[in-house]
Amino acid sequence: MQFNRLPHPAPVPGATRDQAIANPGFGTLFTDHMITVDYDEGKGWHSPTLGPRGPISLDPAASVLHYAQEIFEGMKAYKLQDGSMALFRPEANAARFNKSAARLAMPDFPEDLFVEAVKEVVLADKDWFPSVEGGALYIRPFMFATEAFLGVRPAKQYKFVVILSPAGNYFKSGAPAVSVWVSDYTRAAPGGTGEAKCGGNYAASLVPTGEAFAKGHDQVVFLDAAERKWIEELGGMNLFFVFDDGRMITPPLRGTILPGITRDSILTLAREQGLDVSEEMYSIDQWRADAESGKLVETMACGTAAVVTSVGKVASHDGEFTIGSGGPGQLTGTIREKLVGIQRGTVEDTHGWVMKID
């Protein structure tokens, strides 16, 4: 498809933009443009447009407002050493997007068009790349039902949108290791939508995440819904556990955990370093026991927004425990350095993960 390009009547002045991206924070600053593509049953996807970012008009009866047919992705654009822009494994985001769409009875979005749409908006707004160290352009592709209809069935009309947000540090504390709270709430149940990246999953996590923040922690940990003992993931990140004998484990994908692209990348990099890596269930009681005995030396959390970070302290109604020294872990730092290096072009990409776009 050819993108229709609409002129922007009033882009943010350069001086204002440069001041804003010097300290962008995370998720509160947005660029000038967005991509939209529409869908109608019988016609398919049509009218791909690159235009000014602005409000989206919706009928009050739009299905998304009543039945929550909505999915999204999270990814980043990076600047390489030569000044060019690049994406990290965008085809994996496109594939996961369609898995989420299938679970919510939404139409497939062509994966090549997904990648092309991301490229188009990143190149249009590459001057918004933040000047802060470690900065990136956070990319938010999403799709939602637009048909005006009150009835429990899949909608017949949808809209796909891509917006950009210049991003700095994800965690407000900026600490080298984060503190997490073990929630009494559960995130997902077998047979539910836990492995889909849909808004409803995150809406349900707001209360427990708010509790964690109120208690002075950076994130929340969810346990399984059936037995309330097995560690699943953080509010928006996957977990890895590193032991003193060189083993590393991560909870398995059983339909209740988001299949993180950063998670998958870490599995590959760790195995390349000769680590004994496995996907297996790990209980909250064992987490505490292994940390207190010194058998567990690191816990790392990973996701697109924060990349890789150490977990230093875990707290719950039963008390709290510290992992290692409570500070950044050595392997966590090594994995982060290599992964970020690949993303930014300072470490050789032997997997074809990086896609240069200009």
Ranges of H-type helices in the chain = 14-21, 63-67, 90-103, 111-124, 199-204, 206-214, 261-272, 284-293, 330-344
Instruction: Give the pLDDT confidence score for residue 172 in this predicted structure.
Output: 57
Rg of the chain in Å (alpha carbons): 21
Let me know: does 35 contact 50? Beta carbons within 8 Å: yes
Residue 167 · residue 138 · CB < 8 Å: yes
Residue 237's pLDDT is 92
pLDDT digits (tens, 9 = 90+) for 233-279: 998 899 999 999 999 999 999 999 999 999 999 999 999 989 999 99
Contacts of 43 (CB under 8 A, 6+ apart): none
Q: Note the pLDDT of residue 134.
A: 84
- Give CA 68 to chain center in angstroms: 19
According to the model, what pLDDT value does residue 1 have?
Answer: 84
Q: Specify the pLDDT at position 4.
A: 97
194/202 Cα distance (integer angstroms) = 10
Q: Specify the pLDDT at position 175.
A: 64
User: What is the per-residue pLDDT for 148?
Assistant: 98
- Relative orientation angle of helices 111-124 and 90-103, to the nearest 10 degrees: 120
Residues of the chain falling short of pLDDT 70 = 170-175
Residue with tokens 């540090």: 169
Q: What is the pLDDT of residues 65-123, one digit of tens each?
A: 999 999 999 999 999 988 899 999 999 999 999 999 999 999 999 999 999 999 999 99
Q: Are 287 and 241 in contact (CB under 8 A)?
A: yes
Q: Measured between alpha carbons, how far is 36 from 4 in angstroms, rounded to an integer?
A: 10
